[in-house]
Chains A and B, each alone.
Chain A
């Protein structure tokens, strides 16, 4: 008897992504197997250049993997063409970027409603308002991004990521451009997405404190999975991250000496 399969919101099987060819080829991802169960919050950590952003891009259909599979809510999306990937991004994936990526000429409310617009639907006004309310920006609905603070912009971006009720929310260093107090708000918000909306969140971060908001932390190094901590504390994460950083530095040093 085998256990019933875990319902993964997002799953990567043997994912590879190489840049360049021949001897100069860089393995940004080198056989990554990861599954993210529905309704969980996972942090992805690793030294700079370890493939974290590449992983999120491949998962979101922004980048094309060189090998392996990507499954979104059980559907294999690996071989989808450009138009289907676009639809995947606006319907099934919510992406939160370090630099917000809001449209400068649309108000907060219009930015949140953009994914359904791109799908040719009129956004559900109540839902958009509800999300702005959730992220605490109900009173800023008509502001242009230029008039919002960094933290407010990121909260608009989170509301936008949630608007189509995606299978998974991917966040690439969402607090990287924010001060620590603002960062805490944003992290609490992502946590609330999981606890209250039942969303699945995968967040890349450098910050052990941020990672401690997650249910689990996955470590990447040199494009491979290099460990996992369940129910992480900031201290445990920091210790492991420091170890990986040291190893990376050590490898770099060896490369330089050679």
Chain B
């Protein structure tokens, strides 16, 4: 046992860079979820004598539980995918350990403990930060959405719960990845780390379908039921989160989408004269869909959540110009959701891309050895970024419809909203810039490792 832990800690030290993404994801995730959790704890601690106690309580709980809840879904998803990616990256090394005689159980334990160690560190730091950001969040609400007299009253309970949730998610994700990387016999593991066929597990497909069905169901309910409600916000409640749900569901299917679409897209990119770059990107995306899927997933969620929610706010302000007494809070809520989802997804895209490409430095060097110019090597990574951006935009936009169409119908604008349709291309261009930018960043950083040594000028 302790030998295994020692090994885990040692291997952790050698893999610090690989764990940075996990650490950051856990840190930010805990900070975000923790901030909203403090609102709930503050609400529950409101004394009976507090003025406007019930109204404040309700606002804080809605804010904390609803916004925090949706946010948590995105955050936990991102944490899980990052941890999974890091654990999968260890597959080659794990294969070696197994050849040296480690049992599958030992190998799995190694991956889990490593994830646990990083997650606990990240979550502790995140909880400390969340105490501060939670206070700031409350301060932002005070005087607008809740009475100025509400006192910040959160502590270990909410922060601990948030940290615990993130740690649990991380360890579960690591366990799933560990199972995947140790399923085959030892020798095979070593080889498959090169090109895993990466079939999707059934529970992943089921989870994806449930999320999509739930999101589409919300849309249907919006059109058929809540559209007719007297409360103008009823339709928003049922449709607001649909784009996030469908986006998450599609993101879970990312490996599948890549496998289907990489080939035709690659044809397109190769046709543009990538000198083999598009060709390489296509086959890499298709045959190792699981790795690039870690980049694609946040792109889909980002696109879907951002287009969906921004269009929702746009339709809302157009069709309800005066607003109601709740409008301020509701707009703030929506903006917080968009901001949070975008920030998090953006960080994930950069992280996942960097991790995914850094892991392939030996392979990029191989291309160069085979006679690819440095420009071609970089282009092959950029072509992958292109594939991710296109697939992500298409499915992200599709996911956003789950919110946009029902809400637009509910507010009598018809299937297509009346104005501000430029939101979609605007979000799209931001996403493309983000994806290509992080691809470029990842390629640069990795090529320094891959080609640096040999390109050093003669001494």
Q: Tell me the A residues contacting B by CB distance below 8 Å.
A: 17-21, 25, 57, 62-67, 82-83, 86-91, 93, 95, 97, 101, 103-106, 110, 114-115, 117-120, 144-147, 160
Contact = CB atoms under 8 A, between A and B. Distances in A.
B283 A105 contact: yes
B259 to A, nearest CB: 12
Contacts of B373: 82-83, 86-87
30 contacts: A18-B459, A25-B459, A62-B369, A66-B459, A86-B373, A86-B374, A86-B376, A89-B371, A90-B370, A91-B371, A93-B371, A95-B369, A95-B370, A101-B366, A101-B369, A105-B284, A105-B287, A105-B288, A110-B283, A115-B371, A117-B276, A118-B275, A118-B371, A119-B276, A120-B275, A144-B195, A145-B194, A145-B195, A146-B191, A160-B370
B279 A117 contact: yes
B457 interface: yes
B360 to A, nearest CB: 10
B375 interface: yes
A19 B284 contact: no
B291 to A, nearest CB: 10
B370 A115 contact: yes
A114 B370 contact: yes
A114 B368 CA distance: 11
B372 to A, nearest CB: 5
Nearest to B365: A101
Given A18-B459, A20-B459, A82-B455, A89 B195 contact: no
B283 A106 contact: yes
B367 interface: yes
Nearest to A106: B283
B444 to A, nearest CB: 16
Contacts of A83: 373-375
A229 to B, nearest CB: 30
Closest 7 CB pairs of A and B: A90-B371, A104-B194, A89-B371, A105-B287, A104-B195, A86-B373, A117-B276
B430 interface: no
Contacts of B372: 86, 90, 118
Contacts of A147: 191
Interface residues of B, number: 31
A106 B275 CA distance: 16
Contact of A103 (B366, B375, B376, B455): B366
Contacts of B363: 103-104
A100 B3 CA distance: 35
A241 to B, nearest CB: 28
B458 interface: yes
A82 B374 contact: yes
Contacts of A117: 276, 279
B84 to A, nearest CB: 20
A128 to B, nearest CB: 14
Contacts of B283: 105-106, 110
B280 interface: yes
Nearest to A93: B371
Contacts of A145: 194-195
Nearest to A57: B454
A146 B370 contact: no
Contacts of B371: 86-91, 93, 115, 118-119
Given A82-B455, A146-B194, 4 more contacts: A63-B454, A67-B458, A91-B371, A118-B371
Contacts, number: 91
Interface in B340-390: 363, 366-376
B192 interface: yes
Nearest to B451: A82
Contacts of A57: 454
A118 B371 CA distance: 7
A67 B457 CA distance: 12
Contacts of B288: 104-105
Nearest to A78: B458
Given A103-B367, A115-B370, A120 B195 contact: no
Contacts of B287: 105, 144
Nearest to B380: A118
Contact of A89 (B191, B192, B370): B370
Most buried by A among B280, B284, B363, B458: B458
Contacts of B194: 104, 145-146
Contacts of B280: 103, 106
A65 B457 CA distance: 9
Nearest to A116: B276
A217 B273 CA distance: 44
Contacts of A146: 191-192, 194-195
A89 B459 contact: no
B276 A120 contact: yes
Most buried by B among A21, A87, A117: A117
A20 B459 CA distance: 7
A64 B191 contact: no
Contacts of A87: 371, 373
Contacts of A19: 459
A253 B253 CA distance: 62
Interface in B283-318: 283-284, 286-288
Contact of A86 (B191, B279, B286, B368): B368
Contacts of B369: 62, 89, 95, 97, 101
Contacts of A104: 194-195, 288, 363
A198 B371 CA distance: 23
B458 A64 contact: yes
A93 B369 CA distance: 11
A83 B374 CA distance: 8
A101 to B, nearest CB: 5
Nearest to B362: A101
A105 B195 contact: yes
A242 B385 CA distance: 53
Contacts of A25: 459
